[in-house]
Structure 1
């Protein structure tokens, strides 16, 4: 294998070799760990670029690529056996194409990676409620010392409940949550996790809710409350 054969990794990674060149290079890959690593790296970079959302590249990207091609060190001329005419003309084109691919991937990743690193982590539904500018909090303490706090964001259309040292529901029972509509109807909003300390986002649209209730219901919940609420949080309209 010559230096020119080593340089085919870029063209191989983007499937730019003919059948003979591909077969020869794949035979070389079985004995050359450096070329295998380079091909894997180029394919990984290409996959990363393809997996990202389509965004407009910066105006400087084209100029950076063209300027970088001018700086690429050319390989020494082929010596020894004369290469057939078709391949002799094709090889420099492959070298240039492979160099352009490597440079493009490098510039593209250098541009994309910082952009992604600076992206804020996606917030959970609970985090969006807590961070909302209009988030309001209502807290209730129970005789046994446990506490429950409701946080509502009408802009998010959601509410959550946080419990601290909450006594577990009786055996065969569950705490069910309810959203009260302006008409006074209690709509089921999910079952609280059977844990003393928990954060739970209520199901349903809380945009127009006038209250949030907690009742003790049979395991699995009920379509309508079957007992008086152990807590009812009145929400401002």
Structure 2
């Protein structure tokens, strides 16, 4: 600007841009007349503002708030997604395949065969490599066999044509551990029964069957009708 003095009014009203402000402030440092004029203009502006200031009506706030609800906000600006290189999906697929491959390699040593998973508790005992059995002929009462596996820690009793227990009585089976008879379950009224004995059979030395009151007993109340000595197992 050829006559920078003319900026005094605009400067006093803060109506200049940053370039003009910097230029005029350098001029103010050297021009006392402009400094006095700017000070006078600012004082006059302040007095005018005070004289014409009018408090806003009470309804202004309500009207502004009501108008806001009618203004439709602009949707947010969404940056377009960065384009991925054509090889990126291939890299992801290869990474997933590599991870899955490692997972299979890690878990295979612990995997069990489908045949083992499908075996019942009784079949696991009967098919165990260390399974040993004791069979007894009970005469007219039928036949019973106890099979034990120390590695599985369980024993199974199998009966053939076994007669029912007397009325009001139950057959109860026991494991002999350290010389004591430990309850191993009540036998169902089934002539051809396969039943897994309760408790740990690994330390047992024998198994026995007694006739007990209906519902069983915590300890034998009669002599065994069958005693399976594991020391004679085959």
Name the TM-score, length of structure 1 as normaliser.
0.51
Note if 1:86 corresponds to 2:84: no
The partner residue of 1:160 within 146, 156, 160 is 156
d(CA) in 2 for partners of 1:133 and 1:118? Answer: 16
1:57-76 deviations in Å (ceiling 9; x for gaps)? xxxxxxxxxxxxxxxxxxxx
Instruction: Report the 3-state secondary structure (helix = DSSP H, G, I; strand = E; otherwise coil) of the residue aligned with 1:144.
Output: helix
Deviation (angstroms), 1:207: 1.9
- Name the residue aligned to 1:191: 186
In structure 2, C-alpha distance between the alignment counterparts of 1:206 and 1:180, rounded to whole Å: 9
> In the TM superposition, what is the alpha-carbon distance from 1:131 to its structure 2 partner?
1.8
Partner of 1:15: none
Q: Deviation at 1:142?
A: 2.1
Distance 1:203 1:90 in 2: 63
> Residue 202 of structure 2 corresponds to which residue in structure 1?
207
Match of 1:179 in 2: 175
Q: Kindly state the Cα deviation for residue 176 of structure 1 after the two structures are TM-superposed.
A: 0.2
Alpha-carbon distance, 1:93 to partner: 10
Number of equivalent positions: 153
| 1:208 Cα offset (Å) | 2.3
Using the alignment, how far apart are the partners of 1:177 and 1:231 within structure 2? 9
Give SS of 1:236's match. helix
Alignment of 1:32-111 (within 5 A): 86-87=80-81, 89=83
Aligned twin of 1:147: 143
Deviation at 1:90, TM superposition (A): 7.5
For 1:229, the equivalent position in structure 2 comes to 224
Gaps of 5+ in 1: 1-83
Task: Flag the 1:211–1:107 CA change in 2: closer, same or farther, 3 A.
Answer: closer
> Could you say what secondary structure the match of 2:221 adopts?
coil
Shift of 1:182: 3.1
Q: CA deviation at 1:188?
A: 0.8
Task: Point out the more displaced range, 140-149 or 192-201.
Answer: 140-149
Larger-gyration structure (1/2)? 2
Closer/same/farther in 2, CA of residues 104 and 208 from structure 1, 3 Å limit: closer
Q: Is the 8 A contact 2:141 2:163 kept in 1?
A: no
Cα distance in structure 1, aligned partners of 2:90 and 2:149 = 57
Q: Deviations over 1:136-172 (max 9, x none)?
A: 1111122226211110112222211001111111222
Of 108, 131, 134, 1:135 maps to 131
Structure 2, unaligned stretches of length 5 or more? 1-77
